[in-house]
Structure 1
Amino acid sequence: MFEPHDKEKALHATPEELPEVEIGEVKDVKNADAALDFLRHEGEGVEMTAEDEKRLVKKIDWMIMPLMWCCYVAQYLDKTLINYAAVMGLYEDANITKADFSNLAWIFYVSYLAFEFPHGYGMQRFPTAKYLGIMVVCWGAIVTVTAACHSYAGLITTRVLLGCFESAVAPSLMLITTMWYKKNEQPPRTGIWYLGTGTGTIIGSLLSYAFQHVNSASLYSWQILFLVVGLLTICIGITVTLIFPDNPMTSRLSHQEKIWAIERLRENQTGIENKHFKSNQVAECFMDPQTWLLSLITISSSVPNGAVSSFQATLIKGFGYDSKQTALLQIPGGACSVVSILIATYLAGKFDQRGLNVVTLLIPGILGGALMAFLPEDNKAGKLIGNYLTNCIGASLPLMYSWVGANYAGHTKKVTMNAILLISFCLGNIIGPLTFRAEDAPEYIPAKITIIVTCATAVVLTLILRAYYIWENKRRDKVVEETRMGHKADIEFADVTDRKNKEFRYRL
């Protein structure tokens, strides 16, 4: 415990000056997690039974998961509408070339990357759900405006703006997931909202097929597609802004349920929310070895994702199918994504093993890349199966999200890592479309070989990271045993980083 003069010093300290490992033991909690302040003022309430917790989790699920899923569906569908427009006459109607289309695919991720840190700061300073809702409305408006584009200049402008606003969605949903769920509950919940990728692919394919049968004197079919989807996205954003809770403390839960929702997350040791920006936690994040391993894994696994999400229609059409067939043949790819996400995130939560599941998802990607690259040109079925298998690669990303959510403590550090992870995702997605060079059309063999190499690299790096976590946990166990270090009261909500909290153990 602090002595009286130490408590007075802590009371007036800035977040950077405060000795974080002791925060949980002081009476003043203004620099600790918001949950600790709530608990100190609201009391402990009655003890929660297993049946109470089961009902509470179900209530939380229905309160937040449907809208989180809607946000991610809108995010994925909106950014990949360009993929469907490519086989709906975009090239001819907007007078663009294959090189122009490649630019449209990767430029989105440049602005996405550039705005990650600003969004991270915004999410910490402002109510997270409100911030997310406003961003959804903004990018929905951009998608709607894209329907009015008739040139390359107009399209590339809207793609840049789309990336600016969409870059808020994944880090917001990652933060929200860690605010409400235990570590073992996070992978399947992350998987549920990340299902937006697979279901977005299915919805987009069906809409593309449907709108190819619509004839209008004033709008091309792809313009109608952008208009309809953009307006739906705006509706989702308005709903999120109005009814989505910002955190458990200010939610629609009863007073007792709020206390239970907070107390059950003590075991996470990652806190819920803190509005104080702490520069020392930013510095720690950049110096943490796990940060760079997670970043490299995400970059290497996102290269195939960037290629597949932007060029899937182009690849399938290149196998010898027409535009309408191409639209429908993308549906099984979405189904592969949905199934792989559900299985992988369920197993990760049940057995608390994220790394091994990431490796398992990357192996089909290697096989898929090999089938597309090396099968004879007339083997359309085999190449199509290879294309579908590459959809499993993207299912590794929700596991990366949940890995970061479980293994980073300290709110500023967590927000910073979320931004780094999404920047890494962007870098991979920028590189991916660039591997599809016009001179390699229609087979794009170098791009397909790149899928194999990057997936294999990600497998090796994932195994290295897992070995690092095992080593670090054993080292901490040894330190605790040798020093006989006891538990620090309320350290779970003290906004202490994982590096400084010696009671923290990393999930594999």
Structure 2
Amino acid sequence: MSSKGIQVETVEDVEAHRIETIDGTAPPAGVDKALRVLKAADGPVHISDEDDKRLLRKIDLHILPIMLFGYMLQQLDKSSLSYTSVFGLAKDANLKGNEYSNLGSAIYWLQVAAQPTTAYALVKLPPAKFMGINILCWGVVLCCSAIAKNYTGLLICRILMGAFEATIAPTYVALVAMWWRRAEQSNRNAAWYCMNGVAAMFGSLIAYGLGHIQSKLHSYQIIFLFTGCLTIVFSIVILLFLPDSPLTARFLTEQERIMVIERLRHNQMGIETNVWKWEQVLETALDLKTYVWMLLLFCVSVVSGGISTFGPLIIQEFGFTSFQTILLNIPSGFVQIMIVLIAGFVATRMKLKSPILMFAILGSLVGCIMIRFIDRTPSHRGVLLFAYYLLQFFTAITPMTYSWATQNTAGETKKKCTNAAIFLGQYAGNIVGPLLYSSKQAPLYRTGLTINMCMFAALVGLIVMAVLTLKVLNRKHAATRVSMGKSAQINDLSMAVHNYNVDDAGEAYDVDNAFRDLTDKKNEDFIYVF
């Protein structure tokens, strides 16, 4: 049954007239906008199974395709440097020493510095519009890379690209938390993140085709121009068609908007407030979880930063030509897609992430050890390629950590600050990763691969620490509920794979806590997931 007695014409009317709560008072400033919308409904909002499935399909069809293509473009643009490397970029641009490694890291320099401002902007500004403008700007900069003919010009372009790309992944994580239930988030984060693999496959094919063009332009200039123009065109699609939140989505009717908000209630995470709260900034800084997530992303990004920049060169050093290298990089993209999607599916079914993360680490570690110790001889090419593809298992770790951190954080400002912290760790790792490799280490790249093995070992310890921390926090919340006269146990319907309504909780709890912009530590009804 759909929601009944809805007394509101538009979301804007709700905001303009400050809908009163049941007891006759207006919601205080700083509460989630969703609470104001729900108070406009006359009585509880019930959602049938049919309505729930229809709404989920509608959200998936209108939001996911834009996110998927946008993230594929980001990875394609970011990886354009590695594609151009096998077509003589270093020679054409007269790169020397570690200058190529510096170009691989440079894109992340301003991404680290931009995280605090990105967190603030995602609270205060419409996220889709904010992201669309940044995509437009990075597309322009990528086109400008085509006219850069030396290290200095390429370095400036890479740094500027990093500044604009810094907003994309944090915005995606925020959008997933804003549109989908916790049980649905792992699959959606996996879906857009696996576009890394799609970009690796199609990027290799595109580079292969563009590399054969006979022109006065260098191959790297043609690749930069193509990907840059494609990005500029897509930025217009983002600005026109991606909604900023469920509260303003044009593809939803007013009744559907209220039902979408209702189905997110048990997330206990809210949707949006546009109010920056410094007390939540402080809580983020003092929360042990913040540093666990940040270090998880740092360690895996040290690996991914080096492999994404030097991956084609590592394959080439197995004994393949430039064009063979480009083609043999395609299966690695397929492996990335499959491992990310499978990990997301299994984590959703198991309602656990830590075992999936451990499995991904084990596969990557085995591949890394093989590449590190197997000799580069023609007879070992097949084994080395298999090891390289096995190493790609690490790609499942990043989206799984995004979901894990997001699902265990509440409070609008705290969510954005936590995102800033984890992406700071990620981009710092991406800076360090390429610096561990150097053309002087070819063909074995011992230093980079050895440190990668150490990073995988550190990841295991961090995952154990995360699980223990979350268990302690759940016990504290259970004790708090008991002291308030509530039941110690609450059904976590946000992780259920079926539809639910407020009445299904079966336990006494404050149904409005979800939209009062409480942090996960301040909301005793918040349940941490492993």
TM-score normalized by the length of structure 2: 0.89
Could you tell me how far 1:500 is from its partner in structure 2?
0.5
Task: State the partner residue of 1:221.
Answer: 219
Question: Which 4+ stretches in 1 moved above 3 angstroms?
Answer: 24-27, 41-46
Within the candidate set 492, 515, 520, 1:493 is matched to 515
Could you tell me how far 1:347 is from its partner in structure 2?
1.2
Could you tell me how far 1:42 is from its partner in structure 2?
5.0
5 Å matches for 1:277-316? 277-316=276-315
RMSD over aligned CA atoms reads 1.5
CA contact (8 A) 2:45 2:262 kept: no
SS of 1:249 mapped into structure 2: coil
Task: State the partner residue of 1:476.
Answer: 477
5 Å matches for 1:55-74? 55-74=54-73
CA contact (8 A) 1:341 1:395 kept: yes
CA contact (8 A) 1:39 1:259 kept: yes
CA contact (8 A) 1:115 1:164 kept: yes
Task: State the partner residue of 1:204.
Answer: 203
Are 1:249 and 2:271 an aligned pair?
Answer: no
Q: 1:452 to 1:458 in 2, by over 3 A?
A: same
State the alpha-carbon separation in 1 of the partners of residues 394 and 405 from structure 2. Answer: 18
CA contact (8 A) 2:357 2:400 kept: yes
CA contact (8 A) 1:304 1:390 kept: no
SS of 1:185 mapped into structure 2: helix
Q: 1:222 to 1:478 in 2, by over 3 A?
A: same
Task: State the partner residue of 2:491.
Answer: none
State the alpha-carbon separation in 2 of the partners of residues 138 and 123 from structure 1. Answer: 18
SS of 1:214 mapped into structure 2: coil
- Give the residue type in structure 1 aligned to 2:512: D
State the alpha-carbon separation in 1 of the partners of residues 469 and 125 from structure 2. Answer: 35
CA contact (8 A) 1:76 1:200 kept: yes
State the alpha-carbon separation in 1 of the partners of residues 24 and 514 from structure 2. Answer: 11
Cα deviations across residues 324-380 of structure 1 (Å, max 9, x unaligned)? Answer: 000001001101100000000111122211222111111111111101001122122
Structure 2 portions without partners, runs of 5+: 1-22, 487-507
Task: State the partner residue of 2:165.
Answer: 166
Could you tell me how far 1:476 is from its partner in structure 2?
2.2
Cα deviations across residues 234-261 of structure 1 (Å, max 9, x unaligned)? Answer: 1111100111111001002011110110
CA contact (8 A) 1:308 1:390 kept: no
State the alpha-carbon separation in 2 of the partners of residues 310 and 143 from structure 1. Answer: 17
- Give the residue type in structure 2 aligned to 1:459: V
Task: State the partner residue of 2:525.
Answer: 503
Task: State the partner residue of 2:417.
Answer: 416
Q: 1:128 to 1:43 in 2, by over 3 A?
A: farther
Task: State the partner residue of 1:370.
Answer: 369
Of the structure 1 ranges 480-489 and 241-250, higher mean CA displacement relative to structure 2 is found in 480-489
Task: State the partner residue of 1:461.
Answer: 462
Could you tell me how far 1:26 is from its partner in structure 2?
6.4
Task: State the partner residue of 1:231.
Answer: 229
- Give the residue type in structure 2 aligned to 1:442: P
Task: State the partner residue of 2:434.
Answer: 433
Could you tell me how far 1:489 is from its partner in structure 2?
4.3
CA contact (8 A) 1:32 1:495 kept: yes
Could you tell me how far 1:482 is from its partner in structure 2?
4.5
Q: 1:27 to 1:438 in 2, by over 3 A?
A: same
State the alpha-carbon separation in 2 of the partners of residues 123 and 404 from structure 1. Answer: 17
State the alpha-carbon separation in 2 of the partners of residues 282 and 26 from structure 1. Answer: 28
State the alpha-carbon separation in 2 of the partners of residues 363 and 466 from structure 1. Answer: 18
TM-score normalized by the length of structure 1: 0.93
State the alpha-carbon separation in 2 of the partners of residues 46 and 353 from structure 1. Answer: 30
Could you tell me how far 1:395 is from its partner in structure 2?
1.8
Alignment identity in percent?
34
Task: State the partner residue of 1:10.
Answer: none
- Give the residue type in structure 1 aligned to 2:220: W
SS of 1:245 mapped into structure 2: coil
Could you tell me how far 1:475 is from its partner in structure 2?
3.1
State the alpha-carbon separation in 2 of the partners of residues 82 and 325 from structure 1. Answer: 18
Are 1:396 and 2:394 an aligned pair?
Answer: no
CA contact (8 A) 2:339 2:395 kept: no
5 Å matches for 1:11-30? 27-30=26-29
State the alpha-carbon separation in 1 of the partners of residues 436 and 512 from structure 2. Answer: 50
CA contact (8 A) 2:410 2:517 kept: yes
State the alpha-carbon separation in 1 of the partners of residues 140 and 284 from structure 2. Answer: 35
Of the structure 1 ranges 391-400 and 431-440, higher mean CA displacement relative to structure 2 is found in 431-440
CA contact (8 A) 1:303 1:431 kept: yes
State the alpha-carbon separation in 2 of the partners of residues 77 and 309 from structure 1. Answer: 11
- Give the residue type in structure 1 aligned to 2:75: Y
Q: 1:474 to 1:25 in 2, by over 3 A?
A: farther
- Give the residue type in structure 2 aligned to 1:506: Y
State the alpha-carbon separation in 2 of the partners of residues 348 and 315 from structure 1. Answer: 32
- Give the residue type in structure 2 aligned to 1:490: D
State the alpha-carbon separation in 2 of the partners of residues 198 and 30 from structure 1. Answer: 43
CA contact (8 A) 2:312 2:325 kept: yes
State the alpha-carbon separation in 2 of the partners of residues 302 and 41 from structure 1. Answer: 45
SS of 2:98 mapped into structure 1: helix
State the alpha-carbon separation in 1 of the partners of residues 42 and 121 from structure 2. Answer: 31
5 Å matches for 1:22-171? 27-41=26-40, 43=42, 47-171=46-170
Task: State the partner residue of 1:325.
Answer: 324
State the alpha-carbon separation in 1 of the partners of residues 284 and 354 from structure 2. Answer: 20
Q: 1:43 to 1:77 in 2, by over 3 A?
A: farther
Cα deviations across residues 425-457 of structure 1 (Å, max 9, x unaligned)? Answer: 011111111111343222111111111110111
State the alpha-carbon separation in 2 of the partners of residues 44 and 117 from structure 1. Answer: 40
- Give the residue type in structure 2 aligned to 1:367: V
Cα deviations across residues 436-493 of structure 1 (Å, max 9, x unaligned)? Answer: 1343222111111111110111012112211221222123223323542352341110
- Give the residue type in structure 1 aligned to 2:188: R
- Give the residue type in structure 1 aligned to 2:396: A
- Give the residue type in structure 1 aligned to 2:96: T
- Give the residue type in structure 2 aligned to 1:241: L
SS of 1:390 mapped into structure 2: helix
